Structure 1
């Protein structure tokens, strides 16, 4: 409301009621400088800078679709990693089984060599069981 409008309203209120009541009513109306008022055209031009509700909804939908695609890619990658790790685990188990058998054979050969040596020592009387 411009100052001119406020002055006209105040004088009308004074005619209709008494001056204290007119002053009270005018104090209830917040004064706004004319420079702070916004025109509809200015408001429209400012609002055009921001996306509409439909545009925001479309962006969120596109974002959701991208996130879903990323989650699908992660699931595929996770499954591939699981298969790869399972294959590696089986390969490691097979390698360890071969190593275990080699160790058993080596320890059995060492045990037989130790028994033969003990037997040989008993034959010469160096060491025997009682």
Structure 2
């Protein structure tokens, strides 16, 4: 895959790749297959409302742990597990704990959560690299 790396003064790396690359598309296809399978389960009784029900299939995908990373896509993006509506309505211990904190304590708790999220992202990246190396090693042995 041709990659073009550009560095700027802030240390940000811009990656440019071709629009079609079989290995990249296989990952997108695998993800789409999971989402299509999820939406097909959700729309069994209402196939014409697939567009309204898609959000539920996406939520399920985003909040389910991926085997390759050991964490959910939601956790990788936001650095914590999602608070689901029932936790707010029933007032789960997690929500109650956060609501009882002072502004400074809440800020400190969120900073710790962000740092934990960064650690989780690093671990997920390491797992993904190991997985990709296994795949490449398997392919080159054939």
Structure in which a larger fraction of residues adopt helix? 1
- TM-score using structure 2 length: 0.27
- TM-score using structure 1 length: 0.29
Structure in which a larger fraction of residues adopt strand? 2
